[in-house]
Amino acid sequence: MYHAIPTPTNVHLHHVAIQVSNLHVSSQFYQQLFGLQVHQHFYLEEEEILWLQGDGWRLELISINQETTSPPSTYHFAIEVSHLIEWERICIQTHIPIMEGPITLPNQTKILFIEGPDGEQIELIETTS
């Protein structure tokens, strides 16, 4: 069905956006665990938005007025890491809930699912390449 669509060049993921219930708590979580830095902070209508930036990736945290809040739509997002077992140790020591894993896939990629402050699933992935 999509085989006739021309393939664009220079395409890459720009950011992942997640809805959070407490912008401060979520910001601290992602800054402390992944070393992200605040890039922008602004308001857009009823949304308070905080952009965090890391080494080659961006995370947009969106806090919406409680009366208009709907359930988050992101199933999970993945962050590529080195030394997954070390990340597992850090999560255990800092009481970050581990949802599943670590798991080694048939291609030797290792994954670990952890839980963010609002129950979002974060996949930590260590690839072999």
| pLDDT of the residue at 103 | 93
Tell me the pTM.
0.79
| pLDDT of the residue at 13 | 74
Per residue in 92-128, pLDDT tens? 999 999 999 999 998 899 999 999 999 999 999 998 8
Structural domains of the chain, ranges and CATH numbers in brackets: 1-73 (3.10.180.10), 75-129 (3.10.180.10)
96 touches 114 (CB < 8 A): yes
122 touches 116 (CB < 8 A): yes
59 touches 52 (CB < 8 A): yes
Does 74 have pLDDT greater than 90? no
| pLDDT of the residue at 69 | 52
| pLDDT of the residue at 67 | 62
Rounded to whole angstroms, the Cα distance separating 28 from 93 reads 17
